[in-house]
Structure 1
Amino acid sequence: MLSTRTKLGPYEIVAPLGAGGMGEVYRARDTRLGREVAIKVLPESFSKDPDRLRRFEQEARAASQLNHPNIVTVHDFGTHGGAPYVVQELLEGETLRERLRAGALPARKAVDYGIQVARGLAAAHEKGIVHRDLKPENVFLTSDDRLKILDFGLAKLAAAEAPGAEQNGLPTATQATATGIVMGTLGYLSPEQARGQTVDQRADIFALGAILYEMLSGASAFKRGSSADTMSAILKEDPPELPSDSKVPPALDRIVRRCLEKQPNQRFQDASDVAFALEALSGTASHLVDAAVQTRPSSRWTHRLVPALALMAAVAIGALAGRRLFRSEAPQPKFTAVTFRRGAVFNARFSPDGNSIYYAAAWDGNPIDVYVAGRDDPGARSLGASGDPLLAVSRKGDLAILAHAQYLYHTSYVGTLALLPPSGGSPRELLEKVREADFAPDGETLAVVRAERGKNLLEYPVGHVLYETPGWISYMRISPDGNRAAFLDHSVIVDDRGDVAVVDRNGKRTVLSHDWEAEAGLAWSPDGKEVWFTATKSGFGLGLHAVTLDGKERRLLAIPGGMTVLDMARDGRALISRGTSRYGISALLEGEKRERDLSWLDGSGAEHISDDGKLIAFENWSEPNGLYYAACIRKTDGSPVVRLGEGLVLALSPDARWVLTVKFTALPQLVMLPVGAGQPKLLPRGDLVAYQLGATWSHDGKRLIFTGSEAGSGNRVYVQEVAGGDPHPISPEGYRTFSRSIAMDDRSLIVAAPDSSLVRMPVAGGTTTSIPGTEAGDLLVGWASDGKRIFVYHPAELR
Structure 2
Amino acid sequence: MNASPENICPRCHNPLPPPAGGAPPICHVCLLDAALEAIDETEDTSSPFARPATGSQGNFGHFVLEEEIGHGGMSVVYRAREYESHRVVALKMLQLFLLRTPEMLRRFEVEVRAIANLDHPNIMPMYEVGQSEGIPYFSMKLAERGSLAKNMKAYRGSPRDAAMLVLKIARAVFYAHQRGVIHRDLKPGNILLDANGEPYVSDFGIAKFMDADSDAARHTTAIGTPNYLAPELVGGATGGITVAADIYGLGAILYELLTARPPATGKTPIDVIDNLSKGPPPPPRSLNPAVPRDLDTLCMKCLAHNPADRYGSAAELADDLDNFLAGRSVTASPPSLAGQLWRLCRRQPLISSLAAGIIILLAAIAVGGVRSAFSIAAQRDRALRAEGAAQEQLYNSLLMQIRLGRQTGKAGHRFDGLDVLRQAAAIRITDELRNEAAALLALTDIRVERTLNARPSQAYAIAFAPSLEYYAVCTANREVSLRSTADNSEIARFPGTGQSIISLAEFSPDGRHTASRHYSGHIRVWDAHERRLAFELENRTPRNRPYMSSRFWFGCAFSHDGKTAAIELPEGGYTLHDMRDAGRETARLVLPHGPLALAFDPSDKRLAVSNRSTSNAEIRDIATGKILHAFQHPARVISLAWDPDGAHLAVACLDTNIYLWNTATGKCDRVLGGHRDRVHHLAYSPNGRILASTSVDKTVVLWDPERGTRLVTLSGHGDEPVLRFSNDGTRLATGDFSATVSILEIATGDDVCQTLTPPGNTNMSVITAGVDFSPDSRWLVTSTREAIHLWNLQRNRLAAILRPGPETETSALFTPDGRSMLVASRNTGLARYPFDTTAEANPLGEPSMLMTEKGFTLSDFGFSTQHAILTRRSATRRNTYGIALLWPIAPGAGEPRRIQVQTEAWDAAISPDGRTLVTTCAAQGDLPDSKRLQLWNVETGTQIAELEGGQGGLVRFTPDGKRILSSSRGKRGFRIWDFQSLKPVSNAPDIPGLFAYNLSADGRYLCVPVQRDIWLYQGVNYETPVIKLTPSGGPSQIPKMAFNHDGRLLAIHESDGVVHLWNLRNLRASLAKYNLDWSDPAQ
Q: TM-score range by the shorter chain?
A: 0.3 to 0.5
Normalised by the size of structure 1, how large is the TM-score?
A: 0.35
- Of structures 1 and 2, the one scoring higher in RCO (CA 8 A, sep 6+) is 1
Greater strand fraction, Structure 1 or Structure 2 = 1
Normalised by the size of structure 2, how large is the TM-score?
A: 0.26
